[in-house]
A and B are shown apart, each in its own frame.
Chain A
Amino acid sequence: MKKHTYNNPVGVKNHTGLILIMPFIIGFVLFTLYPFVSSFITGMTDYDGINSPQFTGFENYRNMFSDSDFIKSVTVTFKYALILVPLKLIFSLLTAMLLSAEIKGIGIFRTAFYIPSILGSNLAIVIMWQFLFTSKGLVNQFLEIIGLSPISWYSQPAPAMFMIVLLRLWEFGSSMIIFLNAIRDIPQEYYDAAKTDGCGNVKAFFYITVPMLRNVIFLNLVLQTISAFQEFNAPYMITGGNPAKSTFTIGMLIYNAMFRYSEIGYANAVSWVLFVIIAVITALMFRITKK
């Protein structure tokens, strides 16, 4: 068989490819792989960041099962993810449906609905939430006007959880954008054909839109689940994990152990458990949906 030779206009040699991807490799090794391995090793030590770390094997992992804060934070995180993710998917899908209409000025609405996602959970939002939800806040004033009893938002577990879920729900922009693009890619002919056969809007939604968006729904489900399990900012800023740790997520536990109590070994071990939880849940979602 004749061996082909190719022109080599840019002078590519044996290691050129390796050199070209080196910036990525260096970045990946230093900022992803190294912290990853380092975190695992640190998780097997008793380390306060000051004294030399003592190798303790899996003791940090064993301690987790007797740590009431850890058990509480896992329960809270699961509860939070189970409430938030479905609500967010439904809400962003419905909003994307509304914003997919081709009417004049729709661009303004699309931009406006994305703004909460840019704001994030910063100090201004925390102050706004305080104006809304403290005992004399706007929400309670409104409830009183319509004849309902005011709610103790900050001091009862369920309302406190609702407040942080609402904040994240409000920031539905990124998942909405993904849905919006996918909806606009669905050929109009399908809807026209269905309409000719007497199909209404609701049926068209369930029999055309949802099946056509299956992959995108799955993508959003995975992304939102991962981000819900990593939740830290919203409960930290708004409720501080209170009342009675009913909004204390795994992210907050890691933060407290790492920065407040200098239990760096333990914080790293919990981070690995969080990583495993997310990996298992994602794998399960792939398996269930047979992706």
Chain B
Amino acid sequence: MKKLFVLLTAFLLSVPLSACAEKKEFTEPDGKLDPCSIRFSWWGGDDRHEATLKAIELWNQNHPDINIIPEYGGWDGWTEKISSQINGGTAPDVMQINYDWLVSFSAGDKFYDLGKLRNFIDLSGYDDEVLSFGKNKGLLNAVTVSVSGRGLFYNSDVYKSFNAEYPHTWNELLALGDKFDDKGVYPIDLDIQSGGTAWYLSVVYVQQKTGKEFITMDGQLGFSEEDIKTALDFYKQLENNHVIRNVRSRTDEDGNAALYQSPEFISGKVAGVLEWGSSVGKYEMSLPEGVLEAGPMLTDDNGNSDGWLIKPSMLYAVSASTKYPDESAAFVNFLLNDGKCADILGTTRGIPASSYAQESLEKSGKLKGLALENDRMLSQINTFTISPYMELARMKEFYNEAIESVSYNTSDTSSAAKKMYDSITKYLEKIKK
């Protein structure tokens, strides 16, 4: 019995340690497409889900031997789900990934080097800069689906009823609060649920004012404590001027629901939203067709429009542990470049970065909509590319904490700025070690 106990203890102690030193097994590409089933996961709203399922149907018709198993859901909790799948070695073969995941997961070789799969992925429709977004340590870990930026979208019916123009400058936006206040309507709102949206607009404001990047591409905090304070002051000003709801009203009115599901947005009490061009579809679907419209990118009074941010709205990656790299690559190529697939997907993931997909959409007259308008406006101004570090979950926690403390008046903007500055500096140092 003693012997058994000793053996059992030794086994239990050795397994966790040996698991840590586990050797990863990569399946080398064999250059041909074999019959198999591939799991493909993505997040999004209903518009994206419906289109993607139709695209998968088309793939299955053309490739009856390579079955695609869809796994999809909303954004909330999606990172946690994929993170546990990747860490647990059960990641889907093909994944739609968020930009910051390249930092979070690539360090441990969780994504396949797509450079090895060039036989099946045609990247000739991409320019080098767009391709570089998916590179990590020189390896092509993912391919950009679309490049997108957050823009302002307005409920045109509400604006018409107030006889109001969409704002062009920050000051015009601030002035709208007064105009809308009489009827208890807010010109815009910033969804705190999706993390970082409330902070994002303030970052753009300060970037435009100072020309500094909030977080640099190599993960340095570009803002000083004073810049962060300016951003928080601006946020507070938006609340005080009745441009956005404060966190308390937003929480009371919406509970834990996302803004696009909120009765306040649907009823028009909240008449605008800051959202990614690639994801605005879910807001568009909440309102009658054609009611949501894209507004101009805000500038200062001198017309300076710098500071707005763009990023790859999402990328496709292949899991490093896939047993079907060739087949996965062929499917990624279909999603990115196939003309019929592009027509089905439309702009549900933003304006495609692949020129082949864009051409196809243009030919079929489907290159239209809010995503395109937003994309065009962004292409006319001097944008900054978001650092993937800015989007890390822990960073969003710091932004939300500061915004909440300022909104609830549990802290003044100076103390909140100091706390945020210290937390970000410490965290960036830690993760870059």
Contacts and interface: CB of A to CB of B under 8 A. Distances in A.
8 contacts: A34-B15, A49-B86, A134-B253, A134-B254, A135-B249, A244-B404, A244-B410, A260-B79
Interface in B385-401: 393-394, 397
> Which are the 3 A-B pairs with shortest beta-carbon distances?
A50-B108, A259-B80, A49-B87
A175 interface: no
Interface in A210-247: 237-240, 242-244
B198 to A, nearest CB: 14
Given A50-B110, A51-B108, A243-B408, 6 more contacts: A38-B15, A52-B20, A134-B254, A134-B255, A152-B248, A155-B251
B393 A50 contact: no
A169 B47 CA distance: 38
A262 interface: yes
A126 B19 CA distance: 39
Given A51-B107, A259-B80, A126 B87 contact: no
Given A34-B15, A37-B13, A41-B16, A129 B107 contact: no
A239 B255 CA distance: 7
A259 to B, nearest CB: 4
B21 interface: yes
Contacts of A260: 79-80, 83, 393-394
Contact of B256 (A152, A237, A261): A237
Interface of B: 8, 12-13, 15-17, 19-21, 79-80, 83-84, 86-87, 104-105, 107-108, 110, 247-249, 251-257, 263, 393-394, 397, 404-405, 408, 410
Nearest to B8: A29
A130 B87 CA distance: 34
A37, A242, A261, A264: which has the most chain B beta carbons within 10 Å? A261
Contact-size category for A: 35 or more
A200 interface: no
B89 to A, nearest CB: 11
Contacts of A42: 16
B255 A262 contact: no
B255 A244 contact: no
A53 interface: yes
B404 A243 contact: yes
Nearest to A36: B12
Contact of A50 (B13, B21, B104, B394): B104
Given A244-B404, A259-B83, A154 B252 contact: yes
Contacts of A126: 256
A136 interface: yes
B248 A155 contact: yes
Interface in A133-175: 133-136, 152-155
A33 interface: yes
A41 B254 contact: no
Contacts of A153: 252
Contact of A262 (B83, B252, B256): B83
Contacts of B393: 260-261
Interface in A109-134: 126, 129-130, 133-134
A262 B17 CA distance: 19
A50 B87 contact: yes
Contacts of B394: 260-261
Interface in A239-270: 239-240, 242-244, 255, 259-262, 264
Contact of A155 (B20, B108, B252, B410): B252
Contacts of A129: 255
Contacts of B257: 130
A221 to B, nearest CB: 31
B255 A154 contact: yes
Contacts of B108: 49-51
Contacts of B254: 134
Most-contacted residue by chain B among A34, A237, A243 (CB, 10 A): A243
B253 A50 contact: no
Given A50-B104, A52-B21, A260-B79, A238 B256 contact: yes
B256 A53 contact: no
B416 to A, nearest CB: 12
Contacts of A152: 248, 252
Contacts of B13: 37, 41
B366 to A, nearest CB: 33
Contacts of B21: 52
A41 B19 CA distance: 12
A261 B396 CA distance: 11
A33 B15 CA distance: 12
B83 A49 contact: yes
A154 B20 CA distance: 42
A242 B86 CA distance: 29
Contacts of A240: 256
A239 B408 contact: no
A14 to B, nearest CB: 13
Interface in A69-90: none
**Most interface-central of B104, B108, B256 (chain A CB within 10 A):** B256
A228 B415 CA distance: 35
Interface in A264-285: 264
Contact of B255 (A29, A37, A45, A133): A133
A262 B392 CA distance: 11
A243 B255 contact: no
A6 to B, nearest CB: 23
Contacts of B87: 49-50, 262, 264
B204 to A, nearest CB: 25
Contacts of A135: 249, 252-253
Contact of B251 (A29, A34, A51, A243): A243
A157 B386 CA distance: 35
Contacts of B263: 136
Nearest to B195: A260
Contact of A37 (B16, B86, B249, B251): B16
